[in-house]
Structure 1
Amino acid sequence: MEAKIGNQCLGIGIFFGKSKFVFPGWFVKQIWLHRTGDERLDQVWIEHNDFLLDSRFPNEIRQAMITYVATKLTWHECFIGLTSTEVLPRFEGLASNKRIDIDSPDYSVDLTAFNSVDDYLNSLSKNTKQQLQRSFKLLRQHGELLLQDVQNPDEQMQAFSEMADIHIEKWRNTKYGSGFDNSQFRQFHQTLIENDPECQFTSIYCMSLNEQKLAYIYLLKDNGCWYFYLSAIKSFEDNRIKVGLVAHVMVIENAILNNIHKYEFLAGEARYKKSLSNQSVSNQQLVCYYKPSYLLSFRQKMRTLKRQCFNKFKMVVEPEC
Structure 2
Amino acid sequence: MQVELTQSPSFELVKNHWSQLCANTPGHAFLNECWIAPWFEVVSQHHNPILITVKNSDSIVGLAIAHILTVKRRGIFKRKILFFNEVPETPNDMVIEYNGILAAQSDYPAVWNATLAALKNELVWDEIKINKIDPTQTPFIKAAANENALLFFSEREDTSPIALLAKDSKWEDVEKLNISSNRRRQVRKATQLYEQMYGQLNVHTVTDLNDVESFWNEMANLHTAHWNDKGDSGAFANPVWTKFNRTMISQWLALGQIQLTKYIVGDTVIGYLFNLVIKDRAYNIQCGFLYEDDNRLKPGFVCHHACMKLCHQLGIQEYYYLAGGEDYKVSLSSKIDILDWLCLRKSNAPFLLEDTLVEIVRKLRLLLKK
Residue 118 (structure 1) aligned to one of 172, 175, 181:
172
Residues 40, 116 of structure 1: alpha-carbon distance in 2 compared, 3 angstrom cutoff: farther
Shift of 1:27: 2.7
The amino acid across from 1:288 in the alignment is C
Q: Does 1:15 find its partner at 2:66?
A: yes
Alignment partner, residue 72 of structure 1: 122
Counterpart-to-counterpart distance in 2, 1:226 and 1:151: 16
Alignment partner, residue 171 of structure 1: 227
Contact persistence 2:236–2:242 (CA under 8 A): yes
Alignment root-mean-square deviation, CA: 2.4
Gapped runs of 5+ residues in structure 1? 317-321
TM-score normalized with structure 1 length: 0.88
Contact persistence 2:257–2:277 (CA under 8 A): yes
Shift of 1:68: 1.5
Shift of 1:114: 6.2
Alignment partner, residue 27 of structure 1: 78
Residues 136, 173 of structure 1: alpha-carbon distance in 2 compared, 3 angstrom cutoff: closer
The amino acid across from 1:81 in the alignment is N
Shift of 1:249: 0.7
Counterpart-to-counterpart distance in 2, 1:130 and 1:283: 29
Question: Residue 252 of structure 2 aligns to a residue in which SS?
Answer: coil
Question: Residue 267 of structure 1 aligns to a residue in which SS?
Answer: coil
Q: Does 1:182 find its partner at 2:238?
A: yes
Moved more, 172-181 or 183-192: 172-181
Alignment partner, residue 353 of structure 2: 298
Residues 210, 173 of structure 1: alpha-carbon distance in 2 compared, 3 angstrom cutoff: closer
Residues 62, 126 of structure 1: alpha-carbon distance in 2 compared, 3 angstrom cutoff: same
Counterpart-to-counterpart distance in 2, 1:293 and 1:86: 27
Gapped runs of 5+ residues in structure 2? 1-51
| Poorly superposed stretches of 4+, deviation over 6 Å | none
Contact persistence 2:166–2:174 (CA under 8 A): no
Q: Pairwise mapping of residues 130-209 of structure 1 onto structure 2 (< 5 A)? A: 130-142=185-197, 143-172=199-228, 174=230, 177-209=233-265
Q: Does 1:46 find its partner at 2:96?
A: yes
Alignment partner, residue 218 of structure 1: 274
Residues 20, 185 of structure 1: alpha-carbon distance in 2 compared, 3 angstrom cutoff: same
Deviations 1:172-192 (A, max 9, x none): 464663111001100000000
Alignment partner, residue 3 of structure 1: 54
Shift of 1:52: 2.0
Deviations 1:137-183 (A, max 9, x none): 11121212111111111112220121112111221464663111001
Counterpart-to-counterpart distance in 2, 1:152 and 1:39: 33
Q: Does 1:246 find its partner at 2:335?
A: no
- Equivalenced residue count is 312
Counterpart-to-counterpart distance in 2, 1:312 and 1:233: 44
Residue 260 (structure 1) aligned to one of 316, 324, 328:
316
Counterpart-to-counterpart distance in 2, 1:249 and 1:156: 23
Shift of 1:219: 0.6
Shift of 1:288: 2.3
Residues 39, 135 of structure 1: alpha-carbon distance in 2 compared, 3 angstrom cutoff: farther
Deviations 1:230-257 (A, max 9, x none): 2100112421121110101100001111
TM-score normalized with structure 2 length: 0.77
The amino acid across from 1:140 in the alignment is E
Alignment partner, residue 319 of structure 1: none
The amino acid across from 1:206 in the alignment is K
